[in-house]
Chain A
Amino acid sequence: MKKKTTVFDVVLAVVMGIVCVTCVLPFIHLLAVSFSSSTAVAAGQVAFWPVDFTTASYEYVITGGKFLRAMSISLQRVVLGTLLNVVLMVLTAYPLSKDNLPCRNLLSGFFVLTMLVSGGMIPTYLLVSGLGLKDTIWSLILPGALPVYNMIILMNFIRGLPHEIEEAAWIDGASPFQTLVQVVFPLLGHSLATVGLFCMVGHWNDWFSGMIYMSDPANYPLQTYLQTLLVNFEQLLQSDTTSNIQEILSRMNARTGRAAQLFLGALPIMCVYPFLQRYFTKGLTLGSVKG
């Protein structure tokens, strides 16, 4: 189709450009604030470029220690949690993808029902505390260990694989476990990467379980720690009397410190989201495939 560029096209490109800019500018502003001096920020001079460039806020992140401790908890959680998610999703999706599995409908109903009804916040909280999981990393991982929706996406994908491959493995005498590990698993590729990435992002972004299940702030994962900054970073800074930090504190304030930590908390997501985008539509359409 050959069309010549009209005024309409230019206007369209500009208008859409403005829409896109609104999605990005706040983060650039955040970054600029995090590298600016506290006086410039307080005077409202900082827009999208640092004024009186300083790295004080980032020095605070490193020497203050709380950020790094929370981040290491989050990293542990992402690794452990995603691994558990992936193992459980594959183990559950594979048998459920077999149409001739006895009681298949009953079994998949057992999982699907949990998407429709849930006990809600309070009974789950009481159960997790009752099991003695509070203040352990398991309280963040176990309650959502099997993400049912993603499992179904995976199941539909497995159903779409050519049957001949598996049949060949059975004829060669492979057991279901061997077939799953050696034949089906290597074929999951993109779809597993998609659901795996979604699980990772979910673990990284979750702040609420950290808030209700961790009574000691030393156990907070990163997003929960960041949440506390929204509420009372000012007091936190004032109460910090460690001597080596006083000098850094004199060069920053709550707003620049918060900006730096929020930006660092967002950074991993900003690095992986282009990959999410690539698999995104694929994952969405996978969900709608009916076997």
Chain B
Amino acid sequence: MQNKWQYFLMLVPGIVLTFIFCYIPLYGVIIAFEDYNVGMGFASPWVGWKNFQYLFSQPTFVRTIWNTLFISVWKLALGIVVPVIVAIFLNEMRSNRLKRFYQTLIYIPNFLSWVIMAGVLMDILSSSGAINLILNKLGIGTVNFLGSPRVFPWTMIFSDVWKGFGYGTIIYLAALTGFDPALYESAMLDGASRWQQIKRITLPLLLPTIILMLVLSLGNVLNAGFDQIYNLYSPSVWETGDIIDTYVYRLGIQQAQYSVGAAVGLFKSLISAILVVTSYVLADKVAGYRIL
């Protein structure tokens, strides 16, 4: 190999941009230990743990941690269960054409932005919207999906699962179609019903994929979905719907309390990093999955 220096030349633009936009902000988290003022930038006066002490003395902040965990753990769990069920059912379908057609339909929502999805949800979930019209006809009465603190987290959980289950389904379906048909044929010869086939063959074979997806999503436990919640929440549901990211945004950017905002960001980033590393180590150990 000659001209090796050319390889390094190719790397220069990527390294420079990554350094500026990823590593300088990484250094910038030191403002979490400072009292940031615009004139002095990242070299503002040092205050140590003061911002963190302030944060953890705020009940509104402690509340966001609990809300974040509640929403994201449910999203994680249902975000695995629902796609697995849908994938198994789709796989059981006789007509390949219908199966492919269904598959195409279920992931329309996945690729749309949360702004558009929020617009759609606000329309159909409003008190005079389609869902409440149906609920009223059924005699259940009007549900305040976006304004009631008790209902709001569940609206977030279910609408997120609804938006994303098509994505998960493809992954499981890809795994399912790779299974050896001979297994099913011999099971059928032995008189196994389709239900027994699902339970005894499909599910056990699918388990490694399920574990892999579970482990890989662990790193996201502190991301309860900023795009979704920011576009759908309101002060009346902060009590149960305010998550770490929306809190950072309001405090850090809207109220310009940069240091406190950065402190929350650092706290979250550290826990996330630990979770991501743990999950990748686990994924390697349990499922033999490596990204590099």
Contact = CB atoms under 8 A, between A and B. Distances in A.
For A123, A204, A258, A259, the residue with the greatest tally of chain B CB atoms inside 10 Å of its CB is: A123
B147 interface: no
Contacts of A17: 102
Given A120-B269, A123-B25, A226 B253 contact: no
B270 to A, nearest CB: 8
A58 to B, nearest CB: 16
Contacts of B171: 281, 284
Contacts of B184: 1
Contacts of B262: 119-120, 122-123
Interface string A72-111: 0000000000000001100110111010111000011011
Contacts of B11: 91-92, 95-96, 107
B188 to A, nearest CB: 8
B128 to A, nearest CB: 6
A177 interface: yes
Given A13-B98, A121-B265, A146-B17, A223 B120 contact: no
B245 to A, nearest CB: 8
Interface size class of A (residues with CB under 8 A): 35 or more
B108 A108 contact: no
Interface of A: 1, 3, 5, 8-9, 12-13, 15-17, 19-24, 26-27, 29-30, 33, 44, 47, 87-88, 91-92, 94-96, 98, 100-102, 107-108, 110-112, 114-127, 130, 142-146, 148, 151-152, 170, 175-177, 180, 201, 204-208, 212, 223, 226-227, 229-230, 255, 258-259, 262, 265-266, 269-270, 273-274, 276-277, 280-281, 284-285, 287-288, 290
Contact of B119 (A126, A229, A281, A285): A229
Interface in B81-127: 86, 89-90, 92-95, 98, 102-109, 111-116, 118-124
Contacts of A284: 170-171, 174
Nearest to A208: B227
A122 B248 contact: yes
A16 B93 contact: yes
Given A230-B118, A285-B174, A119 B29 contact: yes
B124 A29 contact: yes
B24 interface: yes
A167 to B, nearest CB: 10
B43 interface: no
A122 B111 contact: no
Contact of A145 (B6, B17, B245, B265): B17
B45 interface: no
Contacts of B194: 8
Interface string B146-190: 000000000000000010001000110010000001001100100
B49 interface: no
Nearest to B261: A122
B133 A146 contact: no
A278 to B, nearest CB: 10
B265 A130 contact: no
Interface size class of B (residues with CB under 8 A): 35 or more
Contacts of A269: 111-113
B138 interface: no
Nearest to B101: A20
B273 interface: yes
Given A110-B15, A119-B25, A281-B174, A230 B231 contact: yes
Nearest to A4: B94
Interface string B180-212: 010011001000001000000000000000000
A117 B104 contact: no
B140 interface: no
Given A12-B92, A177-B6, A27 B107 contact: no
Contacts of B54: none
B104 A120 contact: no
B170 to A, nearest CB: 6
A148 B121 CA distance: 32
A108 B292 contact: yes
B253 to A, nearest CB: 6
A142 B17 contact: yes
Contacts of A21: 105
Contacts of A207: 113-115, 227
Contacts of A24: 105, 108
B141 interface: no
Given A110-B18, A123-B29, A20 B105 contact: yes
A8 B198 CA distance: 14
B215 to A, nearest CB: 13
Contact of B130 (A47, A102, A121, A281): A47
B170 A170 contact: no
Contacts of B13: 87-88, 91
Given A23-B105, A119-B22, A152-B292, 14 more contacts: A88-B13, A95-B7, A110-B15, A112-B291, A114-B23, A119-B24, A119-B26, A119-B262, A121-B248, A122-B253, A122-B261, A230-B118, A265-B116, A270-B108
A118 B25 contact: yes
